[in-house]
Amino acid sequence: MNPLPADLIADLQPLVGDVFKITNVSGGITNRNYKLDTSSGTYMLRLAGERTALLGIDRHAEFISSKLAFEAGVGAEPIAFLEQHGALLTRFLEDAITLDASGAVQQLEQIVKALQIIHAAPKFAKSFSAFQTMLEYYQLALQHGVIFPSDIQTILEELTNLERRLEPSAVIVPCHNDLLPANLLLQQNKLFVVDWEYAGNGNRLFDLANLAANLELNTEAMQHLLFLYFGDAKELDSLRLMRRVSDAREAFWGFLQSGISSLEFDFLDYANLHLERFRAARGALHG
């Protein structure tokens, strides 16, 4: 059975030609992804999840960021954004390997080079603040009936303190802001970064901390990450603190998703996992 509606197939045809095969691509927890084999080549089609605008995702801005990433040589080629379908069409990266955490650690030097390219690219179409994003997620989650843990006010106060400590020295650059291993692809030894939903001009340290959190880097590996990016590890304490912010962002994202998403995924478990990581690293604020 064709998983895509007939009107979407019809709108795709001028862009890709005849569609021979549609293959579901698993792994996403926000959107639905499909590989399209067509008369003009192979493409990736991403259909936006329901109510993803509540997550702060601007699909037009995402398309612009995707184009800038492609032009910088670190992203897949975006072909079109079909607004009426909430569909983003990109060139499929043939024979690319999606990295897992251990594979990404092995490719850390390439990932850092890609981030340096992204951070030096032309400005994106929107801004991104992890702190503002979390506050918006929290307020929206409450509106959708989400019940937060009993210590949520303490956590919000900690985040305010972290913002005061980290943001005055922020260097604002184009950032990806969602550096999960699943968004890192290796094609013939070339590293690509995909899925630019949360991209925006923000604190470059958040990208580094988000990567460190998602790869679960230990202190030695975080020092190596900083040496690769800066040439020294002077920002280690700040990186530790921003890593807590990254885990908190994931937690608030999960809480909001638990109230708005219809996907079959345990968003509350995801949220609580990251919130526990935030709590467990509490000592870093004073270290």
Q: What is the DSSP string of 85-144?
A: GTEEEEE--TTPEEP-HHHHHHTHHHHHHHHHHHHTSPP-SSB--HHHHHHHHHHHHHHT
Could you tell me if 65 and 124 lie in one domain? no
Q: Say whether both 75 and 179 belong to one domain.
A: no
Q: Indicate the burial class of 220 (C-beta count within 10 angstroms; 0-12, 13-18, 19 or more).
A: exposed
Residues 271 and 147 in one domain: yes
At 151 the pLDDT is 97
Single out the residue in 91, 122, 140 at which a domain terminates: 91
| DSSP β-bridge partners for residue 51 | none
In this structure, the answer to whether residues 87 and 128 fall within a common structural domain is no
Q: What is the pLDDT of residue 58?
A: 87
Single pTM value for the model: 0.93
**Domains in the chain, number:** 2
Alpha-carbon torsion (27, 205, 198, 160), positive or negative: positive
138 within a domain of the structure (yes/no) = yes
Domain that holds residue 57: 6-91
Judge if 87 and 104 occupy the same domain.
no
Decide if pLDDT at 52 tops 90.
Answer: no
* pLDDT above 90: residue 258: yes
- Which of 36-50, 75-89, 241-255 has maximum average pLDDT? 241-255
CATH of the domain at 167: 3.90.1200.10
* 47 CB-side CA count, 13 A: 18
pLDDT digits (tens, 9 = 90+) for 177-196: 999 999 999 999 899 999 99
Residue 68 in this model has a pLDDT that exceeds 50: yes
Query: In the predicted model, is pLDDT for residue 74 greater than 70?
Result: yes
Check pLDDT > 50 for residue 212: yes
| Residue 282 pLDDT > 90 | no
Please, which pLDDT band fits residue 29 given cuts at 50, 70 and 90?
low
Q: Calculate mean pLDDT across residues 136-152.
A: 97
Looking at residue 287, what is its pLDDT? Answer: 40
